[in-house]
């Protein structure tokens, strides 16, 4: 069973993502900010991280940079998830180490296709 860490400060988004991902047979964990997510990855790296951009405590971008510098036993794929649809944001995220991105609001088909692109569904 593949594992996904859903990182978003919105409880509603986490719930929606969890529902979709469990329907795709993922084992799902949640984190409410980048710091919680980093701790979760250091404790046990997931196969894939679904990552929000704007969060308190530690943003998605700061998390991404910290994740790529951390020495983990396995390197999670990162699907960056955002409402910021400017190409500059997407480019910055890819440069910081994101593997793919998905625009909010996303549905099951969209998320599944992005997970397929990174080899996770």
- Under the rule (CB under 5 A), what is the footprint of Mg ion? 9, 52, 54-55
Least separation, in Å, of the C-beta of 53 and Mg ion? 7
Between residues 7 and 28, which has the closer beta carbon with respect to Mg ion?
Answer: 7
Cβ-count burial of 118 within 10 angstroms (0-12 exposed, 13-18 middle, 19+ buried)? middle
Least separation, in Å, of the C-beta of 83 and Mg ion? 8
Q: How far apart are CA 78 and CA 117, in angstroms?
A: 11
Between residues 55 and 67, which has the closer beta carbon with respect to Mg ion?
Answer: 55
Between residues 20 and 32, which has the closer beta carbon with respect to Mg ion?
Answer: 32
The CA-to-CA distance between both ends of the chain, in Å, stands at 11
The secondary element (H helix, E strand) that includes residue 40 is: helix 34-43
Residue number with the shortest CB distance to Mg ion? 54
Least separation, in Å, of the C-beta of 77 and Mg ion? 20
The phi, psi pair for 101, rounded to 5°, reads -140, 155
């Amino acid at each position: 069973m593949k594992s996904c860490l859903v990182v978003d400060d919105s409880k509603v988004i986490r719930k929606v993502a969890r529902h979709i991902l469990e329907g795709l047979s993922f084992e799902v964990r949640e984190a409410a900010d980048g710091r919680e997510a980093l701790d979760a990855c250091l404790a046990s790296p997931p196969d894939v991280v679904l990552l929000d951009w704007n969060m308190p405590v530690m943003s998605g971008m700061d998390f991404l940079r910290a994740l790529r510098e951390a020495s983990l036993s396995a390197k999670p794929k990162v699907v960056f998830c955002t409402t910021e649809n400017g190409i500059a944001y997407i480019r910055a995220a890819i440069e910081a180490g994101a593997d793919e991105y998905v625009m909010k609001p996303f549905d099951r088909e969209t998320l599944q296709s992005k997970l397929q692109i990174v080899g996770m569904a």
